[in-house]
Amino acid sequence: MRGPFANRTFRRLFAGRVITNVGDSLYFVGAMWLVYSLTGDPFYTGVAGFLTQGPAAFQFLAGPIVDRYSIRRLLVGTQLFQAVVVATIPLAHAMDALSVWHVLAVMPVLSAANQVVYPAQTTALPRILDDSELVAANSAFSVAYQGFDMVANGAGGAIIGLVGAVSLFAIDAVTFGLAAIVFATLSIPPARDRTETADERAGETPERADNPGEGTAAATDGGQVSADDGDSSGETADEPDTYRERLREGAAVVRGTFLLPLVVAAAILNATSGMTLAAIPAYADTLAVPAAMSAIGAAGAYGILMAAFAGGTFLGALSASMIEDRPFGTVFLAASLTAGACWTAALLADWLPLTAALFALALVPIGAVNVQIATIVQTAPPEALVGRVSSLLGSASTAVVPVGALLGGVVAGAFGPRVAMAGIGAAAIAQAAYVLANGRLRSLPPAAETSLEA
């Protein structure tokens, strides 16, 4: 069986996402720490988390756009836009005009642009790969994201300690520009019948799979057929005519299926993860650090904790393929219990090396489950609706994150950051209880075998 990396389009999509993800990691570390350093108040980091995560609640609005228009053009446009926006921070700093309000204004704008990127990637994968390759592809993306996050978060903390947080924004502007160049080379075919193989969808034989440019004319567009091909709509005769109709069609697919309780289960944990986003800078500032590591300062401790989070999710994504044949319901239940126990132990340790290690262990099962959920979203719905379904579910499951971030800032300011951080451990246990009580979730088959009739 050919792996996903045998496909040239996948390799380019993968490379572009890795580049922009490195920049995103550096930006987020820099933005949260810059807000905290400018104010010294965790309430403002809560506001920053709210503004960063808030646009994700409206990700469902991107679904019909992604399903209709050129994926290549959407990806290139969002990267160039973000490069310009993020560059305003080092420019304002150079002009001695930077304030916390400038940073807070930039954060939601960048986040809003990203709400197109993730559904676009999710939609692209089943168009260029066979269903049997999706778990490996999603695992590869998640491994790359978290692996580079692990390095970027740790490096970001070190860079902040050495030259300040503003330098991370200059680096991020460059990465957005590079990603746009890579995305401009993509060749993604339009959605077709799921019974076709990836080679047939691209107008290729297996021998030509590494050269998608030699496929059909439709395959040369970055999504649907473009105006250059003589058809700007990219719709079939059965495709809904209006944006609202396309949005409703995506919601109709989700309604009454196991995807709804799955989103509820994810939302339980996401709410408290938002609290952690707000509390982590202040928590790093209070964590006990060994004498040998005292030189790294609070910024270094913050970077280490962020690297631990990414490292745990990285290991989980790396192991996702090892459990892809296990029933998802069982995996989800075990992952929630393990994550809750390890997270609680990390907070009780209250010592940077051990706390970071236990945080990483807590996120290993979560990383594995995230890969499985991405595969479920790509295989269960009809392919032409994947963008709408993924963006709807993304909005629903993450809508609670900004509220959690705002609440986390308030709780951390009033009761201390440790109290706000404790939420994830309790939420993971609650998530396990929810899965155990829900028969549809508990009995789900392996991720690649799920269907909306489950």
Confidence of residue 420 (pLDDT cuts 50, 70, 90): very high
User: Which residue from 50, 53, 75, 49 is spatially nearest to 62, judged by alpha carbons?
Assistant: 75
User: Which residue from 253, 266, 274, 216 is spatially nearest to 51, judged by alpha carbons?
Assistant: 274
For residue 135, tell me if it sits in a domain: yes
What was the pLDDT predicted at 247?
Answer: 74
**CB 387 within 8 Å of CB 64:** yes
Mean pLDDT along residues 310-327: 86
What was the pLDDT predicted at 453?
Answer: 67
Amino acid of residue 415: F
For residue 199, tell me if it sits in a domain: no
Structural domain boundaries, residue 374: 4-190+246-449
Angle at 310 between CA 324 and CA 344, to 5 degrees: 90
Q: Which of 5-14, 216-225, 302-311 has the lowest mean pLDDT?
A: 216-225
Q: In residues, how long is the chain?
A: 454
For residue 348, tell me if it sits in a domain: yes
**CB 312 within 8 Å of CB 367:** yes
Q: Which residue has the higher pLDDT, 313 or 88?
A: 88
Q: Which of 102-116, 180-194, 333-347 has the lowest mean pLDDT?
A: 180-194
What was the pLDDT predicted at 193?
Answer: 52
User: Which residue from 439, 142, 175 is spatially nearest to 320, judged by alpha carbons?
Assistant: 142
Give dist(CA 343, CA 329) in Å, integer: 21
What was the pLDDT predicted at 215?
Answer: 37
Q: Which residue has the higher pLDDT, 242 or 321?
A: 321
Give dist(CA 12, CA 242) in Å, integer: 32
Q: Which residue has the higher pLDDT, 248 or 436?
A: 436
What was the pLDDT predicted at 304?
Answer: 87
The rounded percent of the chain whose pLDDT value lies above 70 is 86
DSSP string computed for 157-179: HHHHHHH-THHHHHHHHHHHHHH
What was the pLDDT predicted at 239?
Answer: 53
For residue 220, tell me if it sits in a domain: no
Give dist(CA 334, CA 289) in Å, integer: 32
Give dist(CA 5, CA 97) in Å, integer: 46
Q: Which residue has the higher pLDDT, 316 or 296?
A: 316
Q: Which of 47-56, 221-230, 332-341 has the lowest mean pLDDT?
A: 221-230
For residue 208, tell me if it sits in a domain: no
Confidence of residue 235 (pLDDT cuts 50, 70, 90): very low
Give dist(CA 343, CA 174) in Å, integer: 35
Q: What is the pLDDT of residues 352-394, one digit of tens each?
A: 999 999 999 999 999 899 889 888 988 888 777 887 887 778 7
Residue 232, pLDDT > 70, answer no
The residues, ordered by sequence, that sit 6+ positions from 6 with a Cβ below 8 Å of its Cβ are: 209, 210
Query: Of the segments 62-76, 115-129, 319-333, which one has the largest average pLDDT value?
Result: 319-333
Amino acid of residue 407: L
Hey, what are 426's tokens? Answer: 């309790």
Read off the CATH number of the domain in which 37 is found.
1.20.1250.20
Confidence of residue 291 (pLDDT cuts 50, 70, 90): confident
Give dist(CA 221, CA 298) in Å, integer: 48
Give dist(CA 40, CA 3) in Å, integer: 49
User: Which residue from 380, 370, 377 is spatially nearest to 336, judged by alpha carbons?
Assistant: 370
Give dist(CA 134, CA 125) in Å, integer: 7
Q: What is the pLDDT of residues 138-175, one digit of tens each?
A: 888 877 776 677 777 767 777 776 777 898 899 899 99
Q: Which of 224-228, 417-421, 440-444 has the lowest mean pLDDT?
A: 224-228
Residue 134, pLDDT > 80, answer yes
Q: Which residue has the higher pLDDT, 269 or 425?
A: 425
Hey, what are 158's tokens? Answer: 């070190």
Hey, what are 29's tokens? Answer: 């570390």
For residue 200, tell me if it sits in a domain: no
Q: How many domains does the chain have?
A: 1
Confidence of residue 211 (pLDDT cuts 50, 70, 90): very low
